[in-house]
Amino acid sequence: MKRAAKENELQDAAAAADALFSLGLREAQLIASGLSNSNRSEFASGLCASVLQFVWKLRQKSASHTWPLRKCPADALEKYSGLTQRLGESFLVLPLSQSGFLLGQLYTALLPDDVRKNLGAYYTPPALVSRLLDLVTSCGFDWASGRIIDPACGGAAFLASVAPRLLAHSKEKRPLSILED
């Protein structure tokens, strides 16, 4: 009984976070619509950098680690701190794979149409990645010795989902050996 209540609570939190993200995305799109193409690309990069930095700092506190975040190629946008906070808080509730996907969605939705089309920017939804990896497994793929190639690797949806499977099937137990494996 308690487990079902906990699952319902998690589903409700994820639904609320998804709605919060949708509202933040719409707000960001409205801001971007009033910008020139070059400023719009800069806004997309800066907002995503701001959200990443916000989420990273909060995850550092909750996980008690001090791993630094690499310097983002775009400067964070201080002007939109409320929007950054709302989007970041939605990412904290959602699973990491969903958060990564939505960050890619945020970025591509804010880019000028011609830039998005030229990049061929499309991020694979986590549910589709999971299903495809389940199909690969059911076809007999050996996660302990198989090789994985992700030629597109835009948002790393496949690589991020493959990594835990490779880790679970690794013959090695030391971190460096697992990475080499």
Residue 129 has pLDDT above 80, yes or no: yes
Residue 138 has pLDDT above 90, yes or no: yes
Question: If residue 146 lies in a helix (H) or strand (E), which one and from where to where?
Answer: none
The full set of domain ranges for the chain reads 2-118, 126-180
52-96: pLDDT as tens digits: 888 888 888 877 777 777 777 777 778 888 899 999 988 888 877
> What does the pLDDT read at residue 165?
83
Rounded to whole angstroms, the Cα distance separating 136 from 7 reads 28
> What does the pLDDT read at residue 96?
76
Give the distance from CA 24 to its chain's centroid. Answer: 15
Residue 12 has pLDDT above 70, yes or no: yes
Residues near 124 by beta carbon (within 8 Å), at least 6 away in sequence: 101, 155, 157, 158
Higher local confidence (pLDDT), 172 or 27: 27
- Which CA distances in Å does 78 have to 37, 83, 163? 20, 10, 34
Q: How many CB atoms lie within 10 A of CB 15?
A: 11
- In whole numbers, what is the pLDDT of the chain averaged over residues? 82
Rounded to whole angstroms, the Cα distance separating 106 from 101 reads 9
Q: Which two tokens stand for residue 54?
A: 């916000």
Residue 153 has pLDDT above 70, yes or no: no
Rounded to whole angstroms, the Cα distance separating 105 from 29 reads 11
Least confident window among 98-107, 119-128, 141-150: 119-128
Residue 140 has pLDDT above 90, yes or no: yes
Q: CA triplet 84, 89, 95: central angle to 5 degrees? A: 125
Rounded to whole angstroms, the Cα distance separating 160 from 156 reads 6
